[in-house]
Amino acid sequence: MGRPPCCDKSNVKRGLWTAEEDAKILAYVSSHGIGNWTLVPKKAGLNRCGKSCRLRWTNYLRPDLKHDDFTPQEEQLIINLHKAVGSRWSLIARQLPGRTDNDVKNYWNTKLKKKLSKMGIDPITHKSFSQILSEYGNIRGISNNNGNHVASFNKNFNSTLVSKPEQPSSSVLTGPSSSNVILKPPIEQVHENSFINNSHSWEFLPQFQVTNHDILKPYLFNEVSSSSSSSCSSTATQLNSPQSYTCQESQPPLTPSSSCFWSEFLVNDPVISADFHHLQQQQQHQDSHGVLSSTSISTQNNIFHGKFTSGNGDFGPYDHGVMNGNQTNSYADASSSSASSFVDGILDKDREMGSQFPQLLDPSFDY
Protein backbone atom coordinates (compact mmCIF):
# COMPACT_ATOMS: atom_id res chain seq x y z
CA MET A 1 0.00 0.00 0.00
CA GLY A 2 1.05 3.61 -0.42
CA ARG A 3 4.13 4.81 -2.19
CA PRO A 4 7.73 4.17 -1.34
CA PRO A 5 9.46 6.88 0.72
CA CYS A 6 10.98 9.67 -1.32
CA CYS A 7 14.41 9.28 0.23
CA ASP A 8 16.36 7.82 3.07
CA LYS A 9 16.54 10.86 5.28
CA SER A 10 19.39 9.56 7.34
CA ASN A 11 21.48 9.12 4.25
CA VAL A 12 21.05 12.40 2.39
CA LYS A 13 23.15 15.50 2.49
CA ARG A 14 21.80 18.47 4.36
CA GLY A 15 22.81 22.06 4.87
CA LEU A 16 23.94 24.69 2.45
CA TRP A 17 23.92 23.94 -1.24
CA THR A 18 27.07 24.11 -3.31
CA ALA A 19 27.32 25.71 -6.72
CA GLU A 20 27.83 22.26 -8.17
CA GLU A 21 24.58 21.00 -6.67
CA ASP A 22 22.78 24.09 -7.92
CA ALA A 23 24.13 23.45 -11.39
CA LYS A 24 22.83 19.90 -11.32
CA ILE A 25 19.34 21.01 -10.39
CA LEU A 26 19.36 23.73 -13.03
CA ALA A 27 20.59 21.30 -15.65
CA TYR A 28 17.95 18.77 -14.69
CA VAL A 29 15.09 21.25 -14.67
CA SER A 30 16.14 22.82 -17.96
CA SER A 31 16.11 19.47 -19.68
CA HIS A 32 13.22 17.74 -17.90
CA GLY A 33 11.17 20.55 -16.48
CA ILE A 34 9.51 20.50 -13.10
CA GLY A 35 7.84 17.22 -12.31
CA ASN A 36 8.11 14.69 -9.56
CA TRP A 37 10.58 16.13 -7.10
CA THR A 38 11.19 12.80 -5.44
CA LEU A 39 12.81 11.63 -8.64
CA VAL A 40 14.95 14.70 -9.08
CA PRO A 41 17.81 13.78 -6.72
CA LYS A 42 18.24 10.41 -8.34
CA LYS A 43 18.00 11.64 -11.89
CA ALA A 44 20.09 14.72 -11.28
CA GLY A 45 22.77 12.85 -9.39
CA LEU A 46 22.21 14.57 -6.07
CA ASN A 47 22.41 13.09 -2.62
CA ARG A 48 19.57 15.26 -1.39
CA CYS A 49 15.99 14.79 -0.35
CA GLY A 50 13.50 15.63 -3.09
CA LYS A 51 11.79 18.03 -0.80
CA SER A 52 15.05 19.82 -0.25
CA CYS A 53 15.57 20.04 -4.02
CA ARG A 54 12.13 21.52 -4.49
CA LEU A 55 12.79 24.07 -1.78
CA ARG A 56 16.13 25.02 -3.31
CA TRP A 57 14.50 25.50 -6.66
CA THR A 58 11.45 27.42 -5.50
CA ASN A 59 13.28 29.64 -3.06
CA TYR A 60 16.52 30.31 -4.86
CA LEU A 61 17.12 28.86 -8.30
CA ARG A 62 13.91 29.73 -10.11
CA PRO A 63 14.87 32.05 -12.95
CA ASP A 64 11.99 34.42 -12.33
CA LEU A 65 13.15 35.25 -8.82
CA LYS A 66 14.43 38.65 -7.87
CA HIS A 67 17.49 38.63 -5.68
CA ASP A 68 17.77 42.36 -5.11
CA ASP A 69 16.50 44.37 -2.19
CA PHE A 70 12.83 44.93 -1.62
CA THR A 71 11.60 48.21 -3.03
CA PRO A 72 9.61 50.69 -0.94
CA GLN A 73 6.58 49.74 -2.99
CA GLU A 74 7.02 46.09 -2.21
CA GLU A 75 7.61 46.92 1.41
CA GLN A 76 4.42 48.89 1.62
CA LEU A 77 2.48 46.17 -0.09
CA ILE A 78 3.75 43.61 2.39
CA ILE A 79 2.70 45.79 5.28
CA ASN A 80 -0.73 46.32 3.84
CA LEU A 81 -1.21 42.70 2.99
CA HIS A 82 0.03 41.58 6.36
CA LYS A 83 -2.48 43.79 8.01
CA ALA A 84 -5.25 42.16 6.05
CA VAL A 85 -4.23 38.53 6.00
CA GLY A 86 -1.59 38.17 8.69
CA SER A 87 1.28 35.81 8.17
CA ARG A 88 -0.12 34.14 5.08
CA TRP A 89 3.23 34.49 3.40
CA SER A 90 2.44 32.54 0.31
CA LEU A 91 -0.63 34.65 -0.24
CA ILE A 92 1.38 37.82 0.19
CA ALA A 93 4.21 36.57 -1.98
CA ARG A 94 1.80 35.92 -4.84
CA GLN A 95 1.20 39.65 -5.02
CA LEU A 96 4.92 40.28 -5.33
CA PRO A 97 6.30 38.90 -8.58
CA GLY A 98 9.72 37.40 -8.17
CA ARG A 99 9.46 37.05 -4.43
CA THR A 100 8.98 33.84 -2.51
CA ASP A 101 7.06 33.30 0.66
CA ASN A 102 10.38 32.68 2.36
CA ASP A 103 11.72 36.01 1.11
CA VAL A 104 8.69 37.87 2.35
CA LYS A 105 8.65 36.08 5.65
CA ASN A 106 12.31 36.79 6.28
CA TYR A 107 11.96 40.40 5.27
CA TRP A 108 9.02 40.84 7.57
CA ASN A 109 10.73 39.18 10.51
CA THR A 110 14.06 40.93 10.13
CA LYS A 111 13.10 44.38 8.88
CA LEU A 112 9.47 45.32 8.83
CA LYS A 113 8.52 44.19 12.29
CA LYS A 114 11.27 46.29 13.78
CA LYS A 115 10.51 49.20 11.53
CA LEU A 116 6.87 49.28 12.54
CA SER A 117 7.71 48.91 16.20
CA LYS A 118 10.09 51.82 16.00
CA MET A 119 7.33 53.87 14.46
CA GLY A 120 5.07 53.10 17.37
CA ILE A 121 2.98 50.61 15.46
CA ASP A 122 2.27 47.17 16.76
CA PRO A 123 3.22 44.79 13.92
CA ILE A 124 0.63 42.28 15.05
CA THR A 125 -2.43 44.48 15.16
CA HIS A 126 -1.06 47.30 12.97
CA LYS A 127 -2.40 49.78 15.44
CA SER A 128 -0.38 52.45 17.16
CA PHE A 129 0.60 51.47 20.64
CA SER A 130 -1.18 54.51 22.03
CA GLN A 131 -4.30 53.44 20.22
CA ILE A 132 -4.08 49.97 21.70
CA LEU A 133 -3.77 51.44 25.11
CA SER A 134 -6.64 53.82 24.59
CA GLU A 135 -8.87 51.12 23.18
CA TYR A 136 -8.28 48.87 26.15
CA GLY A 137 -9.61 51.02 26.96
CA ASN A 138 -12.06 53.37 28.02
CA ILE A 139 -9.60 53.83 30.83
CA ARG A 140 -11.76 56.35 32.63
CA GLY A 141 -14.40 53.65 33.10
CA ILE A 142 -11.91 51.25 34.49
CA SER A 143 -10.53 53.70 36.97
CA ASN A 144 -14.00 54.50 38.23
CA ASN A 145 -15.51 51.07 38.28
CA ASN A 146 -15.38 47.84 40.10
CA GLY A 147 -13.19 44.79 39.72
CA ASN A 148 -15.33 43.23 37.04
CA HIS A 149 -14.47 46.01 34.68
CA VAL A 150 -10.83 45.76 35.55
CA ALA A 151 -10.90 42.03 35.01
CA SER A 152 -12.61 42.54 31.69
CA PHE A 153 -10.03 45.12 30.70
CA ASN A 154 -7.18 42.84 31.63
CA LYS A 155 -8.69 40.00 29.71
CA ASN A 156 -9.23 42.06 26.60
CA PHE A 157 -5.86 43.71 26.87
CA ASN A 158 -4.12 40.39 27.16
CA SER A 159 -6.09 38.91 24.32
CA THR A 160 -5.00 41.71 22.05
CA LEU A 161 -1.39 41.54 23.01
CA VAL A 162 -1.37 37.84 22.32
CA SER A 163 -3.83 37.91 19.51
CA LYS A 164 -1.61 35.47 17.68
CA PRO A 165 -0.39 32.76 19.97
CA GLU A 166 2.82 32.25 18.06
CA GLN A 167 3.80 35.83 18.61
CA PRO A 168 3.00 36.52 22.21
CA SER A 169 3.00 40.23 22.85
CA SER A 170 6.71 40.50 22.36
CA SER A 171 6.41 43.18 19.79
CA VAL A 172 4.34 45.24 22.12
CA LEU A 173 5.95 44.74 25.43
CA THR A 174 9.51 43.92 24.59
CA GLY A 175 12.14 44.87 22.11
CA PRO A 176 14.77 47.52 21.99
CA SER A 177 12.56 50.48 21.35
CA SER A 178 9.07 49.46 22.19
CA SER A 179 8.91 50.78 25.70
CA ASN A 180 9.68 54.32 24.69
CA VAL A 181 7.35 54.10 21.80
CA ILE A 182 4.51 52.89 23.91
CA LEU A 183 4.99 55.47 26.55
CA LYS A 184 5.57 58.49 24.40
CA PRO A 185 4.13 58.09 20.95
CA PRO A 186 4.60 61.13 18.77
CA ILE A 187 1.25 62.54 17.91
CA GLU A 188 1.88 62.23 14.20
CA GLN A 189 2.11 58.50 14.65
CA VAL A 190 -1.51 58.52 15.53
CA HIS A 191 -2.21 60.39 12.35
CA GLU A 192 -0.15 58.04 10.33
CA ASN A 193 -1.74 55.02 11.77
CA SER A 194 -5.15 56.48 11.32
CA PHE A 195 -4.34 56.83 7.71
CA ILE A 196 -3.10 53.28 7.58
CA ASN A 197 -6.19 52.00 9.19
CA ASN A 198 -8.38 54.20 7.12
CA SER A 199 -7.18 53.46 3.70
CA HIS A 200 -4.40 51.43 2.29
CA SER A 201 -5.01 48.31 4.21
CA TRP A 202 -8.46 48.13 2.75
CA GLU A 203 -7.51 48.81 -0.81
CA PHE A 204 -7.01 45.24 -1.79
CA LEU A 205 -9.56 43.68 0.46
CA PRO A 206 -12.17 43.29 -2.22
CA GLN A 207 -9.59 41.42 -4.20
CA PHE A 208 -8.77 39.12 -1.34
CA GLN A 209 -12.31 38.83 -0.27
CA VAL A 210 -13.22 37.54 -3.65
CA THR A 211 -10.26 35.46 -4.53
CA ASN A 212 -9.55 34.07 -1.12
CA HIS A 213 -12.88 34.32 0.56
CA ASP A 214 -12.79 31.06 2.38
CA ILE A 215 -9.21 31.48 3.50
CA LEU A 216 -9.51 35.00 4.74
CA LYS A 217 -12.68 34.85 6.67
CA PRO A 218 -11.53 32.93 9.73
CA TYR A 219 -8.41 34.98 10.00
CA LEU A 220 -10.21 38.23 9.86
CA PHE A 221 -12.58 37.11 12.51
CA ASN A 222 -9.71 36.24 14.71
CA GLU A 223 -8.99 39.90 14.55
CA VAL A 224 -12.55 40.58 15.51
CA SER A 225 -12.21 38.71 18.71
CA SER A 226 -9.11 40.64 19.57
CA SER A 227 -10.84 43.92 18.96
CA SER A 228 -14.04 43.16 20.74
CA SER A 229 -14.04 46.23 22.86
CA SER A 230 -14.08 48.48 19.84
CA SER A 231 -17.16 50.08 18.51
CA CYS A 232 -18.33 51.64 15.31
CA SER A 233 -21.31 53.70 14.52
CA SER A 234 -21.81 53.50 10.79
CA THR A 235 -20.93 51.47 7.78
CA ALA A 236 -18.74 54.28 6.56
CA THR A 237 -16.87 54.36 9.80
CA GLN A 238 -16.54 50.63 9.74
CA LEU A 239 -14.88 50.78 6.42
CA ASN A 240 -12.40 53.33 7.53
CA SER A 241 -11.46 52.27 10.96
CA PRO A 242 -9.57 49.47 12.57
CA GLN A 243 -12.75 48.63 14.40
CA SER A 244 -14.41 47.71 11.18
CA TYR A 245 -13.79 44.07 11.87
CA THR A 246 -16.90 44.16 13.95
CA CYS A 247 -20.36 44.12 12.49
CA GLN A 248 -22.28 45.91 15.14
CA GLU A 249 -21.68 48.14 18.04
CA SER A 250 -21.13 46.50 21.40
CA GLN A 251 -21.21 43.09 19.92
CA PRO A 252 -19.59 40.12 21.57
CA PRO A 253 -16.57 38.73 19.80
CA LEU A 254 -17.48 37.13 16.55
CA THR A 255 -16.48 33.64 15.71
CA PRO A 256 -15.49 32.17 12.38
CA SER A 257 -18.96 30.77 12.11
CA SER A 258 -20.50 34.20 12.30
CA SER A 259 -22.77 35.16 9.47
CA CYS A 260 -21.10 38.54 9.13
CA PHE A 261 -18.96 38.79 6.00
CA TRP A 262 -16.64 41.33 4.53
CA SER A 263 -18.77 41.52 1.49
CA GLU A 264 -21.54 42.97 3.62
CA PHE A 265 -19.37 45.94 4.46
CA LEU A 266 -18.17 46.26 0.94
CA VAL A 267 -21.47 46.17 -0.84
CA ASN A 268 -22.94 48.64 1.61
CA ASP A 269 -20.45 51.24 0.58
CA PRO A 270 -21.52 53.11 -2.52
CA VAL A 271 -17.97 53.90 -3.53
CA ILE A 272 -16.70 50.35 -3.59
CA SER A 273 -19.81 48.35 -4.21
CA ALA A 274 -19.40 48.77 -7.95
CA ASP A 275 -15.86 47.53 -7.82
CA PHE A 276 -16.81 44.73 -5.53
CA HIS A 277 -19.52 43.70 -7.93
CA HIS A 278 -17.01 43.87 -10.74
CA LEU A 279 -14.64 41.66 -8.80
CA GLN A 280 -17.38 39.22 -8.05
CA GLN A 281 -17.96 38.92 -11.74
CA GLN A 282 -14.25 38.40 -12.22
CA GLN A 283 -14.33 35.71 -9.62
CA GLN A 284 -17.15 33.97 -11.40
CA HIS A 285 -15.16 34.18 -14.58
CA GLN A 286 -12.13 32.94 -12.74
CA ASP A 287 -14.02 30.05 -11.20
CA SER A 288 -15.26 28.98 -14.55
CA HIS A 289 -11.69 28.89 -15.83
CA GLY A 290 -10.11 27.37 -12.79
CA VAL A 291 -7.30 29.88 -12.48
CA LEU A 292 -6.93 33.57 -11.92
CA SER A 293 -5.98 35.06 -15.21
CA SER A 294 -3.27 37.63 -15.53
CA THR A 295 -5.86 40.03 -16.89
CA SER A 296 -7.82 39.65 -13.75
CA ILE A 297 -4.79 40.25 -11.60
CA SER A 298 -3.88 43.25 -13.62
CA THR A 299 -7.35 44.70 -13.32
CA GLN A 300 -7.35 44.23 -9.61
CA ASN A 301 -3.99 45.84 -9.29
CA ASN A 302 -5.25 48.76 -11.28
CA ILE A 303 -7.97 49.21 -8.77
CA PHE A 304 -5.44 48.93 -6.04
CA HIS A 305 -3.03 51.42 -7.46
CA GLY A 306 -5.40 53.74 -9.17
CA LYS A 307 -8.72 54.07 -7.52
CA PHE A 308 -8.03 53.49 -3.90
CA THR A 309 -4.68 55.08 -3.38
CA SER A 310 -4.28 58.57 -2.13
CA GLY A 311 -3.23 59.74 -5.54
CA ASN A 312 -0.23 61.77 -4.48
CA GLY A 313 2.19 59.23 -5.81
CA ASP A 314 3.43 58.40 -2.37
CA PHE A 315 2.91 54.75 -1.88
CA GLY A 316 3.98 54.65 1.71
CA PRO A 317 1.61 55.86 4.35
CA TYR A 318 4.13 54.92 7.01
CA ASP A 319 6.54 57.32 5.43
CA HIS A 320 4.12 60.15 5.01
CA GLY A 321 4.58 62.38 7.97
CA VAL A 322 2.30 64.84 6.17
CA MET A 323 -0.94 63.11 6.84
CA ASN A 324 -3.30 65.13 8.90
CA GLY A 325 -6.63 64.40 10.42
CA ASN A 326 -8.57 65.94 7.56
CA GLN A 327 -6.82 64.11 4.81
CA THR A 328 -8.48 61.06 3.47
CA ASN A 329 -7.95 58.98 0.41
CA SER A 330 -10.50 58.55 -2.29
CA TYR A 331 -11.68 55.42 -0.60
CA ALA A 332 -12.52 57.36 2.48
CA ASP A 333 -14.03 60.29 0.66
CA ALA A 334 -17.40 58.68 0.65
CA SER A 335 -17.40 58.98 4.37
CA SER A 336 -15.02 61.82 4.96
CA SER A 337 -16.87 63.17 7.94
CA SER A 338 -16.91 59.81 9.62
CA ALA A 339 -13.31 59.24 8.79
CA SER A 340 -12.13 62.53 10.16
CA SER A 341 -14.22 62.13 13.26
CA PHE A 342 -12.65 58.76 13.72
CA VAL A 343 -9.22 60.34 13.51
CA ASP A 344 -10.33 63.04 15.87
CA GLY A 345 -11.64 60.38 18.15
CA ILE A 346 -8.29 58.71 18.33
CA LEU A 347 -6.58 61.99 18.98
CA ASP A 348 -9.09 62.85 21.66
CA LYS A 349 -8.55 59.49 23.27
CA ASP A 350 -4.84 60.07 23.13
CA ARG A 351 -5.10 63.45 24.77
CA GLU A 352 -7.57 62.16 27.31
CA MET A 353 -5.30 59.32 28.23
CA GLY A 354 -2.34 61.62 28.47
CA SER A 355 -4.17 63.96 30.79
CA GLN A 356 -5.50 61.19 32.98
CA PHE A 357 -2.30 59.21 33.10
CA PRO A 358 0.54 61.72 32.80
CA GLN A 359 2.92 59.07 34.09
CA LEU A 360 2.46 57.27 30.80
CA LEU A 361 4.29 60.11 29.13
CA ASP A 362 7.16 59.86 31.55
CA PRO A 363 9.96 57.91 29.88
CA SER A 364 11.00 56.54 33.25
CA PHE A 365 7.62 54.97 33.79
CA ASP A 366 7.93 51.21 34.01
CA TYR A 367 5.15 48.75 33.56
Partner DNA sequence: AAAAACTTCAACCGCCGAGGA
Partner DNA sequence: TTCCTCGGCGGTTGAAGTTTT
The one segment of 95-103, 187-195, 199-207, 292-300 that binds DNA by CB under 7 A: 95-103
Residue type, 27: A
Among 63, 176, 290, 313, binds DNA (CB under 7 A): 176
5 binds DNA (CB under 7 A): yes
Judged by CB under 7 A, which stretch of 6-14, 73-81, 200-208, 274-282 contacts DNA? 6-14
Give CA–CA dist 214/210, Å, rounded: 9
Q: Which stretch binds DNA (CB under 7 A): 81-89, 190-198, 262-270, 287-295?
A: 81-89
Using CA atoms, how far apart are residues 20 and 25, in angstroms rounded to an integer? Answer: 9
Q: What angle do CA 167, 170, 171 make, to 5 degrees?
A: 95
> Is there binding between residue 54 and DNA (CB under 7 A)?
yes
> Which of 25, 28, 56, 262 is close enough to bind DNA by CB under 7 A?
56
50 binds DNA (CB under 7 A): yes
Give whole-number Cα distances, 142 to 149, 151, 174, 303, in Å: 6, 9, 25, 43
Binding mask 101-120 toward DNA (x if CB under 7 A, else -) reads xxx-xxx-xxx--x------
Helix, strand counts (H, E) of the chain: 22, 0
By the rule CB under 7 A, 37 interacts with DNA: yes
51-80 residues labelled b (16+ CB within 10 A) or e (exposed): bbbbbbbeeebeeeeeeeebeeebbbbbbb
Residues 6+ apart with CB under 8 A from 321: 188, 192
Residue 52 in contact with DNA, rule: CB under 7 A: yes
CA distance 110 to 98: 19
- Is residue 63 a contact residue for DNA (CB under 7 A)? no
Residue from 64, 166, 214, 366 touching DNA (CB under 7 A): that is 166
CB of 21 to DNA, least distance (A): 8
Of 105 and 217, which CB lies nearer to DNA in the complex structure?
Answer: 105
Give the nearest distance from C-beta 327 to DNA in angstroms.
32
β-pair partners for 128:
121
